[in-house]
Amino acid sequence: MKTFSEWSVKIALTSNCNYSCFYCNDSLIQAQKKRLDYDKVSAFLKAAANLGITREIHWTGGECTLENLEAYMQLAHVLGFKKQAITSNGLLIDKHMDAFIKYNLERANLSIDSLDNQKYLEITGIDGLDKVLENTRKLLDNNIKVKFNVVLMRRNVDEVLDFIEYTKHNNITLKIHELWNYGDESQFHKEYIDIHSIELSIKQLGYDIDEIPVDLPTIKYFKKGDHNIGLLSSPKKGICNSRFCKQIKLYADGTTCEGCRINNYSNLDFLLSDLMNSRRLGEIKWGDKEHEADL
């Protein structure tokens, strides 16, 4: 009997966002303002839970805090999901703190590209840095793990050491992303910096390579004591290694990630149909090889 105890779910509840970061490709997505229907998410999660896919659920967007997170988190809690996490820009975190505490949010990944108020405003279009850092403290004070996601660019490369010191001092994991060519082409070439250019600086600070995940070969993890830093390279052929991936990712328009598409799950309805009939996840064709998910 195959089990799926190591599988997890990641759901983008909406494509809408309250920020306007220049590097993001969401201008077109936001114009369409896609969002998942609650009833469909509910049906999907019930089907996933029936298969034992309850290790973790990760809520994201767009900006997930624009949605009724409490209702979704309550649903996942009732269905027995063991861990819940979010990815957010952090601005509206305080409005959801009661739900985070009530439903045991384990971790919050916060997108933050500068510790300087003016640069933060220039990058995001929002004068919100102080509020985000205040909300970060509220998360930490309630024993919710925090990770900072930082997109590396010319205008913030001089802050890398500041980010390392800030996150180390506050017990925050740091992940630095290479700039992806998803938005303005001219801005991309103006701002792009090779992620490997800062690797030597990190090593010189005493950080050693910790691991390279088999399911995400574009990232390297570094560790010094209890502090962790990840460097995420821009993907050349999709972000994940779908052969080893054990996460079902659903986007706000109902489509799935590359790994799911490889396996003929082109949209939520097809995936939901298979889950509700308890089919296919046991023996999936991953690329040109068969990978049995006897987890």
Of the pLDDT bands very low, low, confident and very high (cuts 50, 70, 90), residue 151 is very high
Of the pLDDT bands very low, low, confident and very high (cuts 50, 70, 90), residue 261 is low
Of the pLDDT bands very low, low, confident and very high (cuts 50, 70, 90), residue 269 is low
pLDDT digits (tens, 9 = 90+) for 68-106: 999 999 999 999 999 999 999 999 999 999 999 999 999
Nearest in space to 50 (alpha carbons), one of 272, 295, 269, 268: 272
> Given this model, what pLDDT does residue 270 score?
61
User: 28: Cβ–Cβ under 8 A, 6 or more apart, which residues?
Assistant: none
- Please report where in the chains the tokens 């690797």 appear, as a residue: 199
**Which of 40-54, 90-104, 238-252, 253-267 has the lowest average pLDDT?**
253-267
Give the whole-angstrom CA distance, residue 210 versus residue 221. Answer: 5
Domain locations in the chain as residue ranges: 8-292
pLDDT digits (tens, 9 = 90+) for 173-191: 999 999 987 666 788 889 9
Of the pLDDT bands very low, low, confident and very high (cuts 50, 70, 90), residue 260 is low
pTM, to two decimals: 0.86
pLDDT at 282 over 50: no
> Given this model, what pLDDT does residue 53 score?
87
| pLDDT, averaged across the chain | 83
Residues 244-254, mean pLDDT to the nearest whole number? 78
Residues 106-121, mean pLDDT to the nearest whole number? 98
The single-letter code of the amino acid at 160 is V
Give the whole-angstrom CA distance, residue 273 versus residue 198. Answer: 45
> Given this model, what pLDDT does residue 185 score?
77
Nearest in space to 47 (alpha carbons), one of 259, 271, 250: 271
User: 118: Cβ–Cβ under 8 A, 6 or more apart, which residues?
Assistant: none
Give the whole-angstrom CA distance, residue 252 versus residue 62. Answer: 8
Could you tell me what percent of the chain has a pLDDT over 90? Answer: 57
Of the pLDDT bands very low, low, confident and very high (cuts 50, 70, 90), residue 206 is very high
Could you tell me what percent of the chain has a pLDDT over 70? Answer: 76
Structure-model confidence comparison of residues 2 and 143, the more confident one = 143
Nearest in space to 58 (alpha carbons), one of 147, 143, 130: 147
Nearest in space to 22 (alpha carbons), one of 180, 129, 218: 180
Structure-model confidence comparison of residues 86 and 6, the more confident one = 86
> Given this model, what pLDDT does residue 240 score?
55
pLDDT at 277 over 60: no
State the CATH architecture for 8-292: Alpha-Beta Barrel (3.20)
Coil vs helix vs strand at 245: coil
**Which of 43-52, 76-85, 277-286 has the lowest average pLDDT?**
277-286
Structural contact between residues 204 and 224, judged by C-beta atoms closer than 8 angstroms: no
Residues 237-257, mean pLDDT to the nearest whole number? 69
**Which of 26-30, 190-194, 285-289 has the lowest average pLDDT?**
285-289
Structure-model confidence comparison of residues 253 and 207, the more confident one = 207
Structure tokens at 186: 């001219």
pLDDT at 131 over 70: yes
